Amino acid sequence: MNVGEAGAGPWGHERPSRLRAPRRRRIDRFELGVLAVFAGLSLWVLGLDLWQVIAHGRVWTGTDGLYVVDQLQYLAWIQDASHHLLSGNLFVLRSTSTDYFQPAVEISAVLTALGLAPWLSLILWKPVAVVAAFFAVRAYCDRSLVGRWPLRAALVLGLFFGSFSIVDGDFTVVGDLFLGFLSWGYTFGLLAVALMAFAILEYDRGRTAGRITWKPAVLGATAAILHPWQGELLIVILLGAELAMWRGTRRRPARPALPIVTVAVTGLPLLYYLILGHTDLSWQLARDASKHGFSLWAIVLGLAPLAIPAALAYRGRSVSFLTSATRIWPFAALAVWVLSATELSATPLHAFNGVTIPLAVLAVRGAQRLRLHRVRRPRAVAAAAVTLMTVPATVYLLAFAANHASPQPANANFIARDEKQALRYLAKNPEPGGVVASSYLGEAVPAETGRKTYYGDCLWSEPGCYTRIGELNNLFGGSLPDGQAEAFIRSTGARFVLADCGSTPDLDRQLAPLTVAVTRFGCSSVYELDTPSRPSEPLAESAGDAALRATGRQQRASQSS
């Protein structure tokens, strides 16, 4: 990397953002290539799924990610919102509140109501999120650094950095630290990261110009409603950076209304989520179930190759607000991670989404402090370092995704053609009522039919998620005596039982006292039951019944039960 061009100062010298030329730089061929690679990476899992459909005739449920239960949950929200405007919890058979609003879900729900398939209305957000993320990282690097090669290095690191770590004893890559992973089905999170980065840049512009602007507030609020962790993160970053600037200059912002307005408006969606978590029992249990025990050590180890050179950039005083915000960001992520483990939030790992953006900028600045331009062939050395911090982990994740996206037992990514026909029958059947299905097929029932299911995943099918899985495995595996099978089905209050292709043939006899009609679809069957009784199991018992969830644990537990 050679920053002795484009008017750059010496290595280690920081140029205040207010001195940067306001003219927007046109995208060059290198950046177009980076965008093409990032877009291609985002299509990897989708391409693997389509290949299974085209080459092997698989029946795909429309999921676009490694952990399909999350994508099926988004599809369930879209299905429900297409009928009720807002979304409720379709992964229990008890009546639940329909009170969840998320603008991207609502837009997809409108498209679904107009006739578009739910999975397609969700995947349409992928190009939006991918392009937004690329330009957000590019703009952040362009605003923070000077010189063509430092900008290119930070852009590549911000988008593609990945490093190996130890997670639950396994040698792997922490997906949430890799922006490409977020593009595999977690487009709402990726879009929120982009909007948060744009919000910081707009705030810096307004603050530098000494004017009040609504742009950072609107961007922050949108990020917060899409993915609340990024709203929390933005507030902590802005307040921390303002405090750092005040300590350094002893001067408050020229326009104090700017931080007040930005923080207040960004905080409104967070207040909504806080209320939702205290008034909606399903959200309370899902919040408790998502407090997985993910090790902070695994995160630190994964970020170390980027964080070590980034630490060198903390020397000296910040001369711009953007530099202060960049320095604060990693510590703000840690603060939100701690907050997310409390009663106020959930899923702590999401706090580190996008942390490679500031660390990439800081790592390049740290490398500049080492004065690498004095070494022989500095660009080759820098290119090798960037390659080591991006390519190996990316290749590993591509292989990991190829393995997980392939058809597997107890995975609703691909289902049997007869099972698909049974789901279509339930979707078109005018008779209302919920469904009892096997644990793996139950995940897809809300997304495919818009109906409630006894079990969907271990965030929303609470309490006693693993108890539910065991009951279903016993029922469809033929382990329940006839009387117990009948009693269990009556206790659920379901109107339909959906038997997958692996179900025991004894179901006909066991469900006969309850059945009013059976519709066959090859190896799959739909049992319509007599007038269902009210579910005898409560929606909620105690938070202690909530299942712990971490990467892969839910799938492993489902398969071993």
Q: What is the pLDDT of residue 560?
A: 41
Q: Kindly state the percentage of the chain with pLDDT values over 70.
A: 88
Q: What is the pLDDT of residue 495?
A: 93
**Structure tokens of 418?**
């007869």
Q: What is the pLDDT of residue 344?
A: 67
CA 12, CA 474: separation in Å to the nearest integer?
A: 65
Q: Quickly list DSSP for 293-328.
A: ---HHHHHHHHHHHHHHHHGGGSS---SHHHHHHHH
Residue 549 has pLDDT above 90, yes or no: no
Q: What integer is the mean pLDDT of 275-301? A: 85
Q: Kindly tell me the sign of the dihedral angle through the C-alpha atoms of 413, 415, 421, 423.
A: negative
| Per-residue CA distances from 48 to 60, 356, 394 (Å) | 11, 27, 16
CA 422, CA 361: separation in Å to the nearest integer?
A: 52
395: left (phi over 0), alpha (psi -120 to 50) or beta: alpha
Q: What is the pLDDT of residue 290?
A: 78
Of 75-79, 123-127, 511-515, which gets the smallest average pLDDT? Answer: 511-515
Residue 545 has pLDDT above 50, yes or no: no
Residue 548 has pLDDT above 80, yes or no: no
* pLDDT category of residue 377 using cuts at 50, 70 and 90: confident
Q: What is the pLDDT of residue 55?
A: 93
Q: What is the pLDDT of residue 50?
A: 95
* pLDDT category of residue 315 using cuts at 50, 70 and 90: confident
Total residues found in the chain within this entry: 561
pLDDT one-digit tens code per residue, 523-541: 999 999 987 666 666 553 3
Q: What integer is the mean pLDDT of 290-305? A: 84
Contact between residue 225 and residue 338 where contact means Cβ atoms under 8 Å apart: no
Residue 56 has pLDDT above 90, yes or no: yes
Contact between residue 340 and residue 296 where contact means Cβ atoms under 8 Å apart: no
Residue 179 has pLDDT above 90, yes or no: yes
**Structure tokens of 175?**
């997906």
Which of the 8 DSSP states describes residue 61? -
Q: What is the pLDDT of residue 551?
A: 30
pLDDT one-digit tens code per residue, 425-467: 999 999 999 999 998 899 999 999 999 999 998 889 988 888 8
Q: What is the pLDDT of residue 7?
A: 32
Q: Return all residues near 403 (Cβ < 8 A) that are at least 6 apart.
A: none
Q: What integer is the mean pLDDT of 277-283? A: 90
* pLDDT category of residue 139 using cuts at 50, 70 and 90: very high
Determine the distance from the C-alpha atom of residue 105 to the mean position of all C-alpha atoms in its chain, rounded to a whole number. 14
* pLDDT category of residue 67 using cuts at 50, 70 and 90: confident
Q: What is the pLDDT of residue 19?
A: 41
Q: What integer is the mean pLDDT of 157-180? A: 90
Strand 170-173 relative to strand 515-521: parallel, antiparallel, unpaired? unpaired
**Chain mean pLDDT for the chain:** 87
Q: Quickly list DSSP for 163-194.
A: -EEEETTEEEE-GGG-HHHHTTT-HHHHHHHH
Q: What is the pLDDT of residue 380?
A: 85
Q: What is the pLDDT of residue 550?
A: 28
Write the single-letter amino acid at 25.
R
Q: What is the pLDDT of residue 292?
A: 66
Of 110-119, 336-345, 477-486, which gets the smallest average pLDDT? Answer: 336-345
Which of 215-224, 378-387, 399-408 has the highest mean predicted lDDT (pLDDT)?
A: 215-224
Residue 542 has pLDDT above 70, yes or no: no
pLDDT one-digit tens code per residue, 201-246: 999 999 998 888 999 999 999 999 999 999 999 999 999 999 998 8
Q: What is the pLDDT of residue 536?
A: 63
CA 461, CA 96: separation in Å to the nearest integer?
A: 12
Residue 504 has pLDDT above 90, yes or no: no
Determine the distance from the C-alpha atom of residue 490 to the mean position of all C-alpha atoms in its chain, rounded to a whole number. 36
Q: What is the pLDDT of residue 239?
A: 96
Q: What are phi and psi of 493, to 5 degrees?
A: 75, 20
